[in-house]
């Protein structure tokens, strides 16, 4: 095995492996509202981020995603307590001043707040918050700019847009930290409404400036340019993509339907995926890109991806075997512990050991410089 591919050799892991690992955790979180596996997913994700994130500025964005997740939970509980009439129970915590609402609207303003309603809102908000933290873990562990190198040529324009969107949050966090440090050196406070205004405007200005510089750098490198293709080639590519997407949609419907039409779901999904992959490969020939120092995909990447697939599979199996452990029919103070799902989630913590350690100095490109590729 090449020395750069060893697990113990310090190197940056392929960002696609981190994103697939995070997608697996997100899929597991989307299948349950039980707080036990959700909190376990949150703990595993934070543990891996603390163990394997780099020293690059964008790698410190996980804290911002965690704060956003806490805000989501708080807002969900407030909306449930103030506006929602559903999931009310017999255990009354307190009563707020209420205002009359139109009959049949399904809303209330104030009134009784019960323990069951607060717990239901907490569990639902926690599910969404954990998914947000999984995305934050992927942003902190895998550079979205490096991920752009692996995007197929046929999806390159879409990939550029996705990469720019994914780098907004880490870039805002980096700019905010830099501006706050500059204000502290000048002896100015960044707390309170006035301090927020001092930080917000430079951050927004810097984000706009970085976007313009990034667009100019991409244009100078020939991003988005394609070779001329014959009319027959374009028609074949369009037909393959349309047929592939149609097959995927029909296959997913067949798998989710659960009736007599489910027998053709898996074959149609496989056939559609093959057609779509063929269309992507054929369409990618129009993009004349050559990669410089492409990221390796070796044993550590496969182990990290497998560690993310295991919790998703375990959660889906647990849903079929014992759905009452993951979908709580009634809100209880001591929710059950799904053993199979929790064991699968613990496997997702293995990248803290299986992934190679990050280099001490990570040579990340300037925010205005995308991953270097030559258009020829």
Gap between the Cα atoms of 111 and 97, Å rounded: 6
Tell me the CB-side half-sphere exposure of residue 45, using CA atoms within 13 A: 34
Gap between the Cα atoms of 208 and 30, Å rounded: 34
65 and 105 within one domain: yes
β-strand 373-375 against 109-114: which pairing, if any? unpaired
267 and 323 within one domain: no
228, 245, 229, 252: which is closest to 279 by C-alpha? 245
User: Residue 98: which H helix or E strand, with range?
Assistant: strand 92-99
User: Is position 217 within any domain?
Assistant: no
132 and 36 within one domain: yes
Burial class (CB in 10 A: 0-12, 13-18, 19+), 240: buried
Residue 48 is predicted with a pLDDT of: 94
298 and 273 within one domain: no
90 and 60 within one domain: yes
Of 267, 286, 305, which closes a domain? Answer: 286
Q: Residue 322: which region, alpha, beta or left (left: phi > 0; alpha: psi -120 to 50)?
A: beta
30 and 133 within one domain: yes
Gap between the Cα atoms of 202 and 195, Å rounded: 12
Beta carbons of 279 and 241 less than 8 angstroms apart: yes
Of 253, 268, 286, which closes a domain? Answer: 286
Tokens of 36: 């036990």
Residue 4 is predicted with a pLDDT of: 45
295 and 247 within one domain: no
User: Is position 237 within any domain?
Assistant: yes
Residue 164 is predicted with a pLDDT of: 67
Gap between the Cα atoms of 125 and 108, Å rounded: 20
Beta carbons of 70 and 125 less than 8 angstroms apart: no
User: Is position 138 within any domain?
Assistant: yes
112 and 16 within one domain: yes
Total Cβ atoms within 10 A of residue 301: 23
Residue 229 is predicted with a pLDDT of: 60
Domain that holds residue 81: 9-143+290-375
42 and 102 within one domain: yes
Residue 344 is predicted with a pLDDT of: 94
266-287 b/e (C-beta count within 10 Å ≥ 16 → b): eebbebbeebbebbbebbbebb
Beta carbons of 179 and 202 less than 8 angstroms apart: yes
pLDDT tens, the chain, 376 aa long = 444 444 456 777 888 899 999 999 999 998 898 999 999 999 999 999 999 888 776 777 788 889 899 999 999 988 887 777 655 677 788 788 877 777 666 677 777 888 888 888 899 899 999 999 999 999 888 877 677 666 666 666 666 666 666 666 666 777 777 777 777 777 776 666 666 666 777 777 776 677 667 667 766 666 655 555 667 776 777 787 778 878 888 877 776 665 545 566 678 878 888 887 787 777 666 555 555 566 778 888 999 999 999 999 999 899 888 888 888 777 767 888 899 999 999 999 999 998 888 776 444 444 444 443 433 3
User: Residue 200: which H helix or E strand, with range?
Assistant: helix 192-220
In the chain, the N- to C-terminal Cα span, in Å, equals: 32
**Tokens 């053709």 found at:** 264
142-167 b/e (C-beta count within 10 Å ≥ 16 → b): bbbbbbbbebebbebeebbeebbebb
User: Residue 230: which H helix or E strand, with range?
Assistant: none
Q: What is the DSSP letter of 97?
A: E
**Tokens 């697996």 found at:** 24
Q: In total, how many domains does the chain have?
A: 2
Residue 255 is predicted with a pLDDT of: 65
Of 286, 306, 322, which closes a domain? Answer: 286
């Amino acid at each position: 095995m090449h020395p750069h591919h060893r697990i113990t050799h310090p190197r940056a892991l392929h960002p696609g492996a981190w994103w697939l690992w995070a997608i697996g955790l997100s899929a597991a979180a989307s299948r349950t509202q039980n707080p036990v596996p959700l909190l376990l997913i949150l703990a595993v994700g934070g543990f891996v981020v603390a163990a394997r994130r780099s020293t690059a500025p964008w790698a410190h964005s996980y804290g911002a995603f965690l704060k956003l997740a806490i805000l989501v939970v708080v807002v969900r509980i407030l909306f449930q307590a103030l506006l929602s009439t559903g999931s009310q129970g017999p255990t009354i915590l307190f009563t707020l001043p209420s205002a009359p609402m139109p009959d049949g609207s399904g809303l209330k303003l104030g009134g009784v707040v019960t323990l069951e309603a607060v717990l239901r809102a907490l569990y639902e908000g926690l599910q969404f918050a954990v998914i947000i933290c999984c995305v934050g873990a992927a942003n902190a562990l895998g550079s979205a700019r490096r991920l752009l190198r692996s995007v197929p040529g046929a999806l390159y324009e879409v990939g550029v847009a996705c990469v720019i969107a994914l780098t907004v949050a880490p870039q805002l966090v980096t700019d905010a930290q830099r501006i706050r440090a500059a204000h502290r050196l000048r002896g100015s406070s960044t707390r309170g409404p006035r301090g927020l205004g001092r930080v917000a405007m430079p951050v927004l200005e810097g984000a706009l400036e970085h976007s313009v510089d990034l667009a100019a750098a991409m244009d100078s490198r020939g991003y988005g340019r394609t070779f001329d293709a014959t009319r027959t080639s374009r028609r074949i590519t369009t037909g393959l993509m349309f047929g592939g997407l149609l097959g995927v949609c029909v296959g997913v419907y067949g798998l989710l339907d659960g009736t007599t039409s489910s027998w053709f779901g898996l074959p149609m999904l496989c056939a559609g995926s093959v057609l779509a992959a063929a269309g992507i490969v054929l369409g990618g020939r129009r993009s004349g890109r050559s990669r410089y120092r492409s990221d390796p995909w070796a044993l550590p990447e496969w182990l990290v991806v497998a560690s993310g697939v295991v919790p998703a599979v375990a959660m889906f199996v647990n849903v079929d075997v014992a759905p009452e452990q993951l979908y709580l029919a009634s809100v209880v103070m001591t929710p059950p512990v799904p053993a199979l799902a929790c064991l699968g989630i613990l496997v997702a913590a293995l990248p803290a050991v299986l992934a190679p350690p990050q280099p001490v100095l990570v040579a990340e490109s300037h925010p205005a410089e995308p991953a270097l590729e030559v258009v020829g």
